[in-house]
Amino acid sequence: MGFNILKAIYTFDNYILFLIKKYTQNKYLGAVMRVITTAGNLGTIWIIMALLLIINRPYREIGILVLLTLIASTILGEGIIKNIVKRNRPFYRRPNLNLLITKPKSYSFPSGHTLSSFAAAHTLSAYFLQYKFIFIAIALLIALSRVYLYVHYPTDIISGTILGILCSKLVLIVFKKEYIADIIGICQSIF
């Protein structure tokens, strides 16, 4: 039974990649996807949002929570799961494929861009409900760019989405407001 599940996942992943290659590939969309994926590199867009919140005193705690969520999601995805699963990226199956971005050196599962994006988007959405659609849309675009650019399988981004939301929920539970106040006090005493 386990083999059948893996075979079904493999078939699903490759079928979606085939459809993307066949029906959506063009130089304009490729350029847009490169920009979108770059915004997700190292969590750049989310770190910028967190820093803007941190320098704005009423939102400092939220900014710190976003950074804590990004750290936790990076440890979970890049530090632990990728090194356990060790799934090669889709472009390894097509060595003659010209990628639009530099070939990532880490493993594929789960998508780190997606995990951190959904973790940050979920954390931000918990405090800024009126902007939830924007945060989720940014995270979703980053996730889709990874599949479009052939550096992740669809199940990599699906799992990254789920893990990102779970990671955010865990951080929001563990680091309640009183803990964040302590962290802010420590940071203020250092700086």
Peptide bond into 154 cis (omega under 30): no
The greatest distance separating any two alpha carbons of the chain, rounded to the nearest whole angstrom, comes to: 57
Give the start-to-end residue ranges of the domains of the chain: 2-190
**In terms of CATH architecture, what is 2-190?**
Orthogonal Bundle (1.10)
Instruction: Give per-residue pLDDT as tens, 31-58.
Output: 899 999 999 998 999 999 999 999 998 9
pLDDT in tens, 102-117: 788 888 899 999 999 9
Tokens of 3: 């083999």
Quote the pTM value: 0.86
Q: Please tell me the distance from the alpha carbon of residue 57 to that of residue 182, in angstroms, as a whole number.
A: 15
Sign for the CA dihedral angle at 145, 149, 152, 153 comes to positive
Helix 112-127 to helix 154-174 angle (10° resolution) is: 40
